[in-house]
Structure 1
Amino acid sequence: MFTLDDLVRLVRDELALPLPVNGAVPDFDHALNWRSVDLVRLVLAVEKHTGHRVPIAELYRRRNLRGVHDLYTATATAAGSADPGSGTRRTAAGSPAAAAGPLPGEGYEDLSLHGWFARSAARHPDALALRVAGQDLSYRALEQAVEHLAGRIAERPGGRPGRLGLLCSRTVSTYAGYLAGLRLGAAVVPLNPEFPPERNTATARAAAVDLLLCTAEDAELAERIGRETGIPHLVLPDTPGPGESADGESADAGRAPGSAPGPDDLAYIIFTSGSTGAPKGVPIKNRHVSAWLSHTVPYFEAGPGSRFSQTCDLSWDLSIWVLFVAWASGAALVVPEKAELLTPVAHINEDAITHWFSVPSSLSMARLLGELTPGALPTLRWSLFGGEPLTVDNARAWQEAAPGGVLSNVYGPTEVTCTCTTYPLPADPADWPDARLGSLPIGPVYPALEWVVIDERGRRSQEGELLVRGPQRFDGYLDPAHNTGRFARWSEDDWAPFEPGEELTDAHWYRTGDRVHTEPDGTLVYLGRVDNQVKIHGFRAEPGDIEAALRRHESVEEAVVVPCVTADGTTELAGFHLGPETDREQLLAFLEKQLPPYLVPRHLVRLPAFPMNFNGKVDRRKLSEEAFDLIARYG
């Protein structure tokens, strides 16, 4: 019998997680303010002790100790004499989505971002366009909702907004509102209700937002932003349609103003995560998006019958990739509940997802849960991973689970419109390139773009910083002050970083800040950030090189190396890793055979999980700031 007291001991003693208390006793009903990965750790620990797996999605909704125990009791009762955990396994709800080839082969027009959606709606009106919150909308129905909302927005005092803030949860109105803003020629500025209010307020102010769209559950936050900035807001209905307006009055579809946005009009403004400094506003124009979609849609074989899963929040540009490759091609966008993303294999199968794009951390989560069994993902035709290095072990596990599809490692800064390189892995892992540099290649740069790799002196180099220019490159940051040092003039005999007061032109290269290695055939391998380099005892150290060495050890699944500063101001290296327990001295000896002494981390610590930022990437800054606390706790 697994009691509540047993659960408390498990949380406190084995997992060392913060235990909610009421006075001196555990509070079983208090919300667990843990990270998603800690909830997963709890589920696995309960399964280890009892043989029964609590359904993670339900736990995500309950999030208190009594809920955990109730779910365990229900699971154990339902399982009866079944094998441990078998009662919680979910299977595919249908057959794989129909295969779909690329769009028709005629030349692409220079369409606006909304224009790509409108073309799909005209060609495939009855195809599924959106599945969210238990509702399915065809392209015809979604377009009607978009026209209706666009009309209501334009009728408000002040008329059509120039910049439309989107502060919304996952509802039909959110996506109709997004498209309605584009329909009106507004630049959409996605905000994130889960971010601190101060950050959303600062973002809305910096982007000069004219109007905030919000859902009812986010109205209070919209009001707070409005009090501090003067920005009005409009609360959207849960299910907008031609017969229902945002304020409850009847309305007809198709009342949106008729002028279409042009190629030089802004489509959206995304703010960077701030993981490499202060968040910066990145304005992307319709012509940038059109150049990117013209390559991406046919390359990834998107079309009617394809289904894309939205794996991240709208405030990150990975969502742009998913939404608009789907809608530009006549495919369906499937928006899962966040809880469903904790069990990606079940979600992919139940919704017959054909195209998956996420950070590799979600792949690691599926491996942690033991879900990536061979053939577990039969519906997938394309699996894309980006935002972090993709390791060989993770890629091999996913490839075995989705043998009928293509696994591709992709890369692209927000400033170059979502993605600019792609490396599809061969079907047989025996044919994969040597990952001697720690992760798999990110691929060649898209053919419409120019690129060069330079060393610190601006000379062409096999290894160094990647520079890119071409039709996907943005025209500069929202705040021109951020352009300084981020662009450059470059030719074989000239090199000069962009300076204040200089005119930014199409001839300037964007400096990605990313270090890459160039293979003879033009394939690039990601090495790390230029600004991650640190000085250790006077020597320059690249954490990515040390991480690559750590990953080569058989017991290391993931590795992150960060600098940490001691009380006397000395900079040391701390290497954090995931995977099974391993002897620290043995791991040190392994590294000493590969690295010079100054590159061997002073601290090597195995963690249960890495901290993540809002975009699902490893939070290196937090690891560095809390390094000594983590060393004391886990070292």
Structure 2
Amino acid sequence: MSTESTLYGWFARSAAAHPCAPALEVAGERLTYAELRQQAERLAARLVTAAGGTPPRRVGLLAARSVTAYAGYLAALRTGAAVVPLNPEHPAARTREVVAAAGLDVVLAEPGSPAPDLPVPVHVADPDDTVSAPASQGSFRQAEPDDIAYLIFTSGSTGAPKGVPVRHRNICAYLERIAGRYGIGPGSRLSQNFELTFDGSVHDLFVAWAGGGTLVVPARAQLMSPVRTVNSLRLTHWFSVPSLITFASRLGTLAPGSMPTLRWSVFGGEPLTLQAAREWRAAAPGSRLEVLYGPTELTISCTGYRFPDDPAHWPDTPNGTAPIGSGHSGLDLVLLDEDGRAAGTGELCVRGPLRFDGYLDPAHDTGRFLTDTFGPARGGPPGPGHWYRTGDRVTLCEGLLVHLGRTDHQVKIRGHRIELGEIEAALRGEPGVRDAVVVTVPAGDGEPELRAAISGPGCVPDRLYAALVERLPPYMMPSRITVLDRLPLNPNGKIDRRAVRTELGHPH
């Protein structure tokens, strides 16, 4: 697969090679590569006008699962800007916080979406954008490999979202390693399951478009019925969090051979149990099965594991989860024990062309990078030789990496990366709350869910819920808030999370 130096270039090459092939199917509409490129060019011209006639540097995209969302993503890249996805379902206060932190020049919103009051120009797309606006290509800026391609905001332990800038050279290096793995070409139909605020969506979009395949976008409600969605949309490639296998299993739809169209199934964002992998493989016997692992800071994924075609040859791991495999080519990986020495089990640290250059706010870099000798990096942006500390505890098992858990209080809930400290900070900021702790417990379906315990005079859970709804996205909302006289402490005087789980009725 040929090398491109910008993210838009990967799409443009396929648009030139396959202009009549379908590029996008969403919300009942179907666009060819030529049509999608034309819409992106015209929206790009509108964005330049909305930004005051100068090509914007950063564009917010307040849209989801619509033509505007996907044409808008390409449009922002076409102007030479970085894309900053904004979720229309997130609280307005959080959206304003991200807009301010990102330093946006303009926001593109889809028609009919409730656009919050924002401190930057907002262009609401309309049908005229795609049929009459001339594309003045001379007003666009040519992005460079060192420019930011997209900016994803993840949960932050201090109570504020953290901006993760990914540069064109990072994402293009990723596509060079990944886009050719799955035999994608015209006729391939790839799922787009992830929200645009989740970096797995970048894999969805540009792995599909790099090969000339069709990006097929299920409605959000369809994601709860994966087997029906695969069959009704005639998907050949599937990428999702493993918890969707649980939904399919609970529905009783994962019958052997029930997904005959699938040729590739890829899972990431959270551990895949070997039991779930066997269920999915039996339901899609013609599909190859792969796991991708990696935090946003390492450009979507940094390791991968492809299951052998014969399930009899699948590995047996110490915790019953699929291996995360081995590192992508050109990356350096090391496991460091608690003393900072290379070991067979420890925190996974990574460096190489997929590693980002540091957070949007350099204050968030503190403690996240190590020098080439594994000492803490201090002062200035991280250099090429610095290691990124993932915070994931990993072991080597028969030459393969296996994920064991976290070294901190970050969790994954159905693929969403959540810093428990962000929820705790939001709770502690409410009147009357003396202290707060958030833990994960098993839900009825076996998947983890969030529970909060608080202490303080006059705390009322319903009032706290109402306050959190104004600040946190839905996936970060605790399923229950329990008021305790005091939070249990360990011998070191810190909150004892294990004891909190016991108080909440979940001792393990």
TM-score in same-fold range (> 0.5): yes
SS of equivalent to 2:291: strand
SS of equivalent to 2:204: helix
Counterparts of 1:482 and 1:365 in 2: how far apart (Å)?
Answer: 36
8 Å CA contact 2:395, 2:401 repeated in 1: yes
Matching residue within 276, 281, 288 for 1:394: 276
1:257 equivalent to 2:123? Answer no
CA RMSD, aligned part only? 3.4
1:460 equivalent to 2:342? Answer yes
Counterparts of 2:298 and 2:240 in 1: how far apart (Å)?
Answer: 18
Show the 5 A alignment for 1:13-162.
103=1, 108-156=2-50, 157-162=52-57
1:430 equivalent to 2:343? Answer no
Counterparts of 2:351 and 2:481 in 1: how far apart (Å)?
Answer: 32
8 Å CA contact 1:184, 1:256 repeated in 2: no
Counterparts of 2:238 and 2:107 in 1: how far apart (Å)?
Answer: 30
Matching residue within 123, 128, 136 for 1:234: 123
* Bigger strand share: 2
Distance apart, 1:415 and its partner CA: 0.5
Distance apart, 1:622 and its partner CA: 8.0
User: Which residue identity does 1:430 align to in structure 2?
Assistant: A
Show the 5 A alignment for 1:144-543.
144-156=38-50, 157-218=52-113, 220-222=114-116, 224=117, 226=118, 230-237=119-126, 240-241=129-130, 243-244=131-132, 251-253=133-135, 255=137, 257=139, 259-274=141-156, 278-491=160-373, 495-499=374-378, 501-521=379-399, 523-532=400-409
8 Å CA contact 2:394, 2:405 repeated in 1: yes
Distance apart, 1:277 and its partner CA: 6.6
Counterparts of 2:477 and 2:308 in 1: how far apart (Å)?
Answer: 27
Farther off after superposition, 285-294 or 192-201: 192-201
8 Å CA contact 1:450, 1:468 repeated in 2: yes
Counterparts of 1:429 and 1:312 in 2: how far apart (Å)?
Answer: 28
Counterparts of 2:381 and 2:36 in 1: how far apart (Å)?
Answer: 42
Counterparts of 2:111 and 2:384 in 1: how far apart (Å)?
Answer: 43
Change (3 A) 1:573 1:201: closer
Distance apart, 1:257 and its partner CA: 3.0
Counterparts of 2:300 and 2:18 in 1: how far apart (Å)?
Answer: 26
Unaligned runs of 5+ in 2: 413-419, 425-434, 452-471, 483-496
User: Which residue identity does 1:631 align to in structure 2?
Assistant: G
Tell which structure's C-alpha radius of gyration is larger: 1
Q: Deviations over 1:285-316 (max 9, x none)?
A: 10001100001011122222211111121111
Q: Deviations over 1:372-399 (max 9, x none)?
A: 1001111111111111111121111101
TM-score, normalised with respect to structure 1: 0.66
SS of equivalent to 1:152: helix
User: Which residue identity does 1:511 align to in structure 2?
Assistant: R
Change (3 A) 1:146 1:329: same
Counterparts of 1:615 and 1:113 in 2: how far apart (Å)?
Answer: 30
8 Å CA contact 2:55, 2:140 repeated in 1: no
8 Å CA contact 1:273, 1:615 repeated in 2: no
SS of equivalent to 1:216: coil
* Bigger helix share: 1
Change (3 A) 1:191 1:503: closer
TM-score, normalised with respect to structure 2: 0.82
Change (3 A) 1:573 1:303: closer
8 Å CA contact 2:4, 2:10 repeated in 1: no
Change (3 A) 1:615 1:518: farther
User: Which residue identity does 2:115 align to in structure 1?
Assistant: L
Counterparts of 1:572 and 1:324 in 2: how far apart (Å)?
Answer: 36
Counterparts of 2:218 and 2:440 in 1: how far apart (Å)?
Answer: 37
Q: Deviations over 1:352-381 (max 9, x none)?
A: 111111111111101110111001111111
User: Which residue identity does 1:434 align to in structure 2?
Assistant: D
Counterparts of 2:236 and 2:18 in 1: how far apart (Å)?
Answer: 18
Change (3 A) 1:328 1:622: farther
8 Å CA contact 1:148, 1:252 repeated in 2: yes
Aligned counterpart, 1:631: 505
SS of equivalent to 1:252: coil
Distance apart, 1:258 and its partner CA: 5.1
Farther off after superposition, 523-532 or 472-481: 523-532
SS of equivalent to 1:126: coil
Counterparts of 1:202 and 1:149 in 2: how far apart (Å)?
Answer: 25
SS of equivalent to 1:437: coil
